[in-house]
Amino acid sequence: MLEYSYPLFRPPAEANNLILQVTLGCSYNNCSFCSMYKTKNYEVRELEDVFKEIDTLAHHYPNATKIFLADGDALSLPCEQLLILLDKLNSTFTKLRRVSTYASTQNILGKSNKELELLCKSKLNLFYYGIETGSDVVLKKITKSVNQAEIITSLTKATDAGVKISATVILGIGGSKYSDLHVQETAKIINATKVNYLSTLQLGIEEEAKENFYRYFDDFTMADDEQILSEQKRFLELLEPTNKIIFRSNHASNALHLAGTLPKDRDRLVQELKMALDVGKSAFVPNYFRGF
Ligand code: SF4
């Protein structure tokens, strides 16, 4: 129906929703661990072309309630342009309830509070946000170009504007050496902000990204599944969020699938991790069911 530009990524939670590509690639495209958009140049699509695709989607799915704006960070668009796009979506899909996008620290900090409020009122009300780690040491080594304070400020700014946040943290991103620092500093972010959803993925580095990754992270040693689950257990033990967080660790990369609500289920999740670690490898998701 639509001629998408590939590769095309969307969060697992958007599997049943409409996807509209309004930008191509990632405006930053420089995190050393990430090869998602390395084959694509960042590009802003012509509004006229996007509007035609909205009409095509509306013809087939007039009752759509949720739309995901791709690619890597549609929030990189200026607020005025996003508002024009959201106007069109709201007038075309009369049952629309939610528009979502990947959003980076830089994207959010580049918008004023008022702009974020306007976007949220126009139903751009969910951001998928890759925290990855809260450690400034590790953030530098993975060339993320942001620091912990900026992550906290941006998340707070978005939630104050009414936007919901679905955040991801990457287990193993600090390797063995910085594992403790990674969990301690990342937990500080979760405890200081009000993310609504939290997922933990397990680090996997594509072959083509390895050279660049190790260039900046020369003391990195990949943690094995036991170390990763131990890291996840320490991370959960440190979480004391002041709001309710839907927690999931059920990505294809995860050695153990977990689900619960924080802080209510924290101790039960820690216990599940402890039991899996006591049993060892046979309790983990087998490698042939895993992917990154
Ligand atoms: S992790 Fe996100 S911000 Fe970083 S290069 Fe990949 S898509 Fe872009």
| Tens digit of each residue's pLDDT, the chain (292 residues) | 899 999 999 999 999 999 999 999 999 999 999 999 999 999 999 999 999 999 999 999 999 999 999 999 999 999 999 999 999 999 999 999 999 999 999 999 999 999 999 999 999 999 999 999 999 999 999 999 999 999 999 999 999 999 999 999 999 999 999 999 999 999 999 999 999 999 999 999 999 999 999 999 999 999 999 999 999 999 999 999 999 999 999 888 899 999 999 999 999 999 999 999 999 988 898 888 887 6
Residue 124: enclosing H or E segment and its boundaries?
Answer: strand 124-132
Q: Is 104 in the pocket of ligand 1 (CB under 6 A)?
A: yes
Rounded CA-CA distance 125/144 in Å is: 24
- Determine which residue's CA is closest to atom 6 belonging to ligand 1: 34
Kindly give the number of the ligand 1 atom that is closest to the alpha carbon of 144: 4
28 C-alpha to ligand 1 centroid (Å): 7
Kindly give the number of the ligand 1 atom that is closest to the alpha carbon of 28: 8
- The residue among 20, 186, 193 whose CA lies nearest residue 101 is 20
Q: Where are the domains of the chain?
A: 12-289
Tokens matching residue 170: 């990457």
72 C-alpha to ligand 1 centroid (Å): 7
Kindly give the number of the ligand 1 atom that is closest to the alpha carbon of 102: 2
CA dihedral 70, 71, 77, 79 (to 10 degrees): 30
Please tell me the pTM assigned to this model. Answer: 0.97
User: Which backbone phi and psi does 180 adopt, to 5 degrees?
Assistant: -65, -45
The pLDDT assigned to 281 comes to 86
Q: Is 28 in the pocket of ligand 1 (CB under 6 A)?
A: yes
Rounded CA-CA distance 171/152 in Å is: 19
**Class of CATH domain 12-289:** alpha beta
